[in-house]
Amino acid sequence: WKKCLDIIRDGLHNLQSFKTWFEPIVPLKLSGQELTIQVPSQFFYEMIEENYYSLLKRALMEVMGTGAKLRYSVLVQAAQAETPVVARIPEKKGKHTPAALPKVISHANGKQTKEAQDLFANNVHRFESYLNPKYRFENFVKGDCNDLAHAAAKSVSETPGKSSFNPLVIYGGVGLGKTHLIQAIGNHARENNKAKFVMYVSSEKFTIEFVNAIQNNQAHEFSAFYRNVDLLIIDDIQFFERKEKTQEEIFHIFNTLHQANKQIVLSSDRPIKELKGIEERLLSRFQWGLTADLQLPDYETRRAILQRKLEENSATLDESIIDFIATNMTSNIRELEGCLVKLLATASLNAKSIDLPLAKNILRDSVRERSQTVTIEMVEKAVCEYFGISANDIKGKSRKKEIAFARQMAMYSAKKWTKSSFKTIGLHFGGRDHSTVIHAVNAIDKNADRSEEVRNTIEELHKRLEIMSL
Ligand code: ADP
Ligand code: MG
């Protein structure tokens, strides 16, 4: 084993790789020509197989002859690891079918092959990085809903591959800014020379390209191409569900990039744990770094986004209209933007300024407007009945949990289903400040995201209000 190590050390480009991957190996036993080595973990085993297979094979054959066989014993096994015993050294020298061998990376240890560089250069030339320059940090509005995701994205764009946020996974529902944020990482890193080769690709496109590559006998070039990227951004990885072949390819690309300290950024429409039909070893890798979510934006963030978009278009709208959109479009930033675009388009087509009634008319189909006839008194009654408390409780000063929650729910419902302003609502419910009402609306919005119980309460109150207003 010592002799093997000498050969391996000579064959490696840097001492660090040797220290990392070979020093921890313990030779366990030698029987006949079969050597068993112990590696610390499944991950170790995979990394060695992936990156140092040919070197290891050469060393063993040199020392033990061509009949050498190797077995791995994995010290700590991952919960669902595959059988750890592997004998991959062929018994005879000579040609073996490529399928029988693990894929050997043509540029292990970060050395790029000419072929891969050429392919990459072609692609860069043809398609650039596929990044859309309009997605930037500068026009991404920060809020409580995207705090962590935004901070992590910024950090990764400054030092790609160098933090422990590798991979960085951003998840969240449709239209909440995943694509915007992960492309902003790419644009920032590229423009500030933090990463040379940046590649943005949707999972769908990746899959199609991969399938095409196989059909055209270019799978090797395909792999080589992606393994040369410095910052790889893959959008909507839920699309990889049940695509086994593609997952295997991703697995190898991931290993190569991760080991070479290249940054990987992924987005998903769900938490990683909820992805179905994705190999365990991939799922676990996806969770090596940092996972951050994008929540539904709260009222203030919705307003800020609208303001921002207006500025970008050098347009203005009446406060009441902004409030109307921000109050009613709660579930999706893309739709929020859509409303604005619709209004601005109509305004410019008709060359007239827009007031609230006209805005409501234009957005009639997009916005399910608050009921016309629900009053603040109805809300008070409905909430009191539902929670079994008195109007004095709601209007009073009690900070008891149930009462405080009912009070917030009353303010929330009033904002949602009546036409009252924050100020009016605050005054009605115990002479409170309008900012207290804004806070209550946001608090309930946020709770509703997380708790089904809260969502049910909202729905039940809404139902009762609708009946009352008939
Ligand atoms: P997703 O990929 O999650 O479906 P997108 O990134 O496509 O969502 O976002 C939808 C639209 O909303 C885009 O036009 C995007 O620019 C915009 N958007 C999303 N989040 C923000 C934000 N925090 N600030 C500004 N614009 C945003
Ligand atoms: Mg997207």
User: Of all residues in the chain, what percent carry a pLDDT higher than 90?
Assistant: 55
The rounded mean pLDDT for the chain is 84
- Distance CA(371)–CA(278), nearest Å, equals 45
Lowest mean pLDDT among 235-244, 343-352, 387-396: 343-352
Tokens of 224: 């080589």
Task: Give the pLDDT band (50/70/90) at residue 198.
Answer: very high
Task: Give the pLDDT band (50/70/90) at residue 245.
Answer: very high
Question: What pLDDT shows up at residue 105?
Answer: 28
3-state SS class at 13: coil
Q: From residue 376, how far is each of 278, 381, 387, 461 by CA, in Å?
A: 50, 9, 17, 13
- Torsion angle, alpha carbons of 408, 413, 418, 423, to 10: 10
Place of tokens 């020093």: 23
List the beta bridge partners of residue 30.
35
Residue 376 near residue 428, CB atoms below 8 Å = yes
Helical spans, DSSP H, in 329-370: 333-350, 356-362
3-state SS class at 283: helix
Q: Using alpha carbons only, what angle is made at residue 458 by residues 456 and 461, rounded to the nearest 5 degrees? A: 105
- The sign of the dihedral angle between the CA atoms of 355, 348, 335, 136 is negative
Mean pLDDT of 401-405: 94
Lowest mean pLDDT among 109-123, 147-161, 358-372, 378-392: 109-123
Question: What pLDDT shows up at residue 169?
Answer: 97
Rounded distance from Cα 334 to ligand 1 centre (Å): 6
Residue 5 exposure: Cα atoms within 13 Å on the Cβ side:
15
Would strands 34-41 and 26-31 be described as parallel, antiparallel, or unpaired? antiparallel
Question: What pLDDT shows up at residue 216?
Answer: 87
Q: Yes or no: is domain 117-294 CATH 3.40.50.150? A: no
Buried b (16+ CB within 10 A) or exposed e, 95-117: eeeeeeeebebbbbbeeebeebe
Question: What pLDDT shows up at residue 142?
Answer: 95
pLDDT over 70 (residue 91):
no
pLDDT over 80 (residue 58):
yes
Question: What are the boundaries of each domain within the chain?
Answer: 2-93, 117-294, 299-362, 376-468
Question: What pLDDT shows up at residue 128?
Answer: 59
Burial (CB count within 10 angstroms: exposed 0-12, middle 13-18, buried 19+), residue 294: buried
- Distance CA(231)–CA(194), nearest Å, equals 9
Q: Greater confidence, 140 or 115?
A: 140
Does the bond joining 271 to the residue before it have cis omega, within 30 degrees of 0? no
For atom 14 of ligand 1, which residue has the closest CA?
334
- Distance CA(266)–CA(201), nearest Å, equals 10
Looking from the CA of residue 146, the nearest atom of ligand 1 is 23
178 lines ligand 1 (CB under 6 A): yes
Question: What pLDDT shows up at residue 47?
Answer: 75
Rounded distance from Cα 179 to ligand 1 centre (Å): 7
Q: Return the top range by mean pLDDT from 26-30, 69-73, 94-98, 186-190.
A: 186-190
Q: Nearest ligand to the C-alpha of residue 332?
A: 1
pLDDT in tens, 415-467: 998 888 999 999 999 999 999 999 999 999 999 989 999 999 998 898 888 77
| CA proximity to 43, closest of 60, 20, 10 | 20
User: Of all residues in the chain, what percent carry a pLDDT higher than 70?
Assistant: 87
pLDDT in tens, 6-49: 999 988 877 777 887 888 899 988 888 888 898 877 777 877 87
Question: What order of strands is seen across the sheet that includes strand 69-76?
Answer: 26-31, 34-41, 69-76
For atom 5 of ligand 1, which residue has the closest CA?
177
Rounded distance from Cα 179 to ligand 2 centre (Å): 4
Q: Greater confidence, 126 or 66?
A: 66
3-state SS class at 125: helix
pTM of the model: 0.59
269 lines ligand 1 (CB under 6 A): no
Question: What pLDDT shows up at residue 372?
Answer: 54
pLDDT over 60 (residue 404):
yes
Buried b (16+ CB within 10 A) or exposed e, 205-218: ebbebbeebeeeeb
Looking from the CA of residue 181, the nearest atom of ligand 1 is 6
167 lines ligand 1 (CB under 6 A): no
Task: Give the pLDDT band (50/70/90) at residue 76.
Answer: low
Question: What pLDDT shows up at residue 83?
Answer: 32
Rounded distance from Cα 177 to ligand 2 centre (Å): 7
3-state SS class at 25: coil
Mean pLDDT of 198-214: 92
Lowest mean pLDDT among 114-118, 206-210, 303-307, 345-349: 114-118
**Assigned superfamily of 376-468:** DnaA protein, C-terminal DNA-binding domain (1.10.1750.10)
Neighbours of ion ligand 2 (CB under 5 A): 178-179
Mean pLDDT of 62-81: 71
The CATH number fitting domain 299-362, selected from 1.10.8.60, 1.10.357.10, 4.10.520.10, 2.20.25.190: 1.10.8.60
Helical spans, DSSP H, in 351-451: 356-362, 376-387, 391-395, 401-417, 422-428, 434-450
pLDDT in tens, 278-315: 999 999 999 999 999 999 998 899 999 999 999 988 88
Q: How many residues does the chain have?
A: 470
Q: Greater confidence, 119 or 284?
A: 284
pLDDT over 80 (residue 370):
no
Mean pLDDT of 198-203: 95
Q: From residue 192, how far is each of 186, 187, 195 by CA, in Å?
A: 10, 8, 8
Q: From residue 41, how far is each of 49, 73, 151, 411 by CA, in Å?
A: 12, 9, 32, 55
3 state SS for 154-173: HHHHHCCCCCCCCCEEEEEC
Backbone angles phi, psi at 294, to 5 degrees: -110, 120
- Distance CA(168)–CA(161), nearest Å, equals 10
Task: Give the pLDDT band (50/70/90) at residue 365.
Answer: confident
Tokens of 260: 């070479």
Q: Which fold has domain 2-93?
A: GMP Synthetase; Chain A, domain 3 (3.30.300)
